[in-house]
Amino acid sequence: METIKLSGIGVVVLLIIAINWRAGDQFGDEHFDTFSLSSQPNCQTSSELIQEVRVFEEQNGMLAVEAEHFSSQQQTTIRKWALVNRDTKALPTPDPDPAHLEDASGDAYLEILPDSRVTHDDPLIPGTNFSNEPGKIGILNYKVYINQPGKYFVWVRGFSTGTEDNGLHVGLDGVWVESGQRMQWCEGKNEWTWESKQRTQENHCGEARKIFLDIKKPGHHTISFSMREDGFEFDKWVLSSNYQKPSGQGPQEKVMK
């Protein structure tokens, strides 16, 4: 039998194939949403094919992360977060509004697409362009390290142009707690706006101090965001032990070394 000799690159390729096969067998296809080509035509996929996994560190009760620096993306069959930056050529359609790169932190942001509901006149399709239940559509995961456990308010810098593209959910370590559901934007339309309010039965524009996560232990955690309304544009998020709205583009990221 002839012996086949492999170069160093060949060995690495075989190892990657073997690891992916084993992981796919264990976790199923959805585990690879971040690394697979989108089924949507004209979708920007470069950030998903090579997505550097970073761990962001909380210091002195503050943690900031650029939205596009997620570690993985799940539940993307119906709606998917697409990267918008200076290199973006085309995005999934429909997407009725133009790009909003001016004043976007890091010169990039994410948008949950396609966007089929912008106003009240557009059809509401639960489970497609709207999800009042968190963790069902378009999940973004971020790896963080918490030095000081406790109660953290969640602030998000978002952009909405219509009445129906202004909602989001946030969760912790795979759990979608009530205090992370139904983040709502009413003020600051057509501009990047920081907000931390929860839509309630009494106040559809949201109540202050009700969007927070209780992080009980120091160490590694996963912060996740999921779609509530399609078309939402997501620039940056902050955890803060104090209820204080960030200014401008917000604090800088701190990557754990």
pLDDT tens digits, one per residue of 50-101? 467 899 999 999 999 999 999 999 999 999 999 999 999 999 999 999 999 9
Torsion angles phi and psi, residue 181, rounded to 5? -95, 145
Homologous superfamily (CATH) for 40-240: Galactose-binding domain-like (2.60.120.260)
Is residue 146 a contact partner of residue 218, using CB atoms and an 8 Å limit? yes
pLDDT band at 163 (very low <50, low <70, confident <90, very high): confident
**pLDDT, tens digit (0-9, with 9 covering 90-100), for 103-153:** 999 999 999 999 999 888 899 999 999 999 999 999 999 999 999 999 999
Band (pLDDT 50/70/90 cuts) for residue 43 is very low
Strand ranges in the chain using DSSP code E only, listed in sequence order: 55-57, 62-66, 72-74, 80-85, 108-113, 139-146, 150-159, 167-172, 183-184, 193-195, 197-198, 207-208, 212-215, 219-227, 233-240
Q: What is the pLDDT of residue 51?
A: 62
Query: What mean pLDDT is predicted for residues 230-255?
Result: 97
Inform me whether the pLDDT recorded for 33 exceeds 50. Answer: no
The percent of residues in the chain predicted with pLDDT above 90, rounded, is 74
Residue 183 has pLDDT above 50, yes or no: yes
- How much is the pLDDT for 257? 87
- pLDDT at site 6: 45
- The pLDDT assigned to 115 comes to 97
- Considering the entire predicted model, what is its pTM? 0.81
CA angle (78 as vertex; 43, 213 as ends), nearest 5: 100
Q: Is 44's pLDDT higher than 70?
A: no
CB distance 117 to 230 below 8 Å: yes
Mean pLDDT of the chain: 85
How is residue 246 written in tokens? 């960030």
State pLDDT tens for residues 226-242.
Answer: 999 999 999 999 999 99
**Between residues 57 and 28, which one has the greater pLDDT?**
57
Residue 150 has what pLDDT? 98
- pLDDT higher than threshold 60 for residue 161: yes
Percent of the chain at pLDDT > 70 equals: 80
Lowest mean pLDDT across 19-28, 57-66, 70-79, 203-212: 19-28
